[in-house]
A = this chain, B = another copy of it.
Amino acid sequence: MSKPIAIIAGVGPGTGAAVARKFALSYPVALLSRNPATYDPIVADINKSGGKAIGISTDVSDSKSVKAMVEKVKEEYGNDVKCAAAVFNASGAFVRKPFLELTGEIMDSSYAGSVKGSFNFAQATLPLLLASTSTSPHPPSLIFTGATASVKGSANFAAFATMKFALRAMAQSLAREFGPKGVHVAHAVIDGVIDIPRTKEWDLGEGGKIDPNAIADAYWHLHTQPKTAFTWEIDIRPGVEKW
């Protein structure tokens, strides 16, 4: 029997890359992003250091693209491929705008990237996760990355918070539906700025940015929880953060 794999959507520098590297220590991984340039170096790294990774250019907002991704996963890892973990880390566009400056197009594309994307991803991966409940070393896990806006609708965040609340609702509903079936669904509220190249110049003081590797460690811990002790939600923030 082949080893179950991990599928990570939204792999760029930051959380996605860190999660990919962490899970690749234990599983073959498939890394998804629209732009191969974002996952190529990570795929190369993992394969060089003894792991097994493939990258698949995928637009999670497009169900056809997600289905094609599953086909490529099967080509690579076998038709009976099973999934030990699936992580949805595609953030969708970050939008901060006075409400009356938002457009229907912004709302639609926020919905597509975040809500529809997570929906497509969950629909594609849950059958592979359910298939591994009796064989995966840990309960198969479906983890969603959230943000401050998942639990707080701040002024000027109508588009972003709307979609993040929505994603959280989906994660909670799935946790209640699939927990009894042996799949661990979890949601992480990442409440702070992540330490990535794009935020390098931001001065948030000593310890003010979240180390993406710590997020990956937390996700791995969630994944290793036995079925008698599932965490549905964790929050993660710098100790110095105001909240």
Residues of A within 8 A of B (CB): 63, 98-100, 102, 104, 107-108, 111, 115-116, 119-120, 122-123, 126-127, 139, 149, 152-158, 161-180, 182-184, 195, 207-211, 214-215, 217-218, 221, 224-241, 243
Contact = CB atoms under 8 A, between A and B. Distances in A.
- State the 6 A-B residue pairs at the shortest beta-carbon distance, nearest first: A153-B172, A214-B229, A165-B169, A153-B173, A155-B177, A179-B239
Given A154-B173, A157-B173, A161-B173, 19 more contacts: A99-B123, A100-B126, A107-B115, A107-B119, A111-B116, A154-B176, A156-B177, A162-B170, A166-B169, A184-B239, A195-B228, A208-B228, A211-B226, A211-B229, A214-B226, A217-B229, A227-B238, A233-B233, A233-B234
A229 B210 contact: yes
Contacts of A180: 239-240
Nearest to A182: B239
A232 B231 contact: no
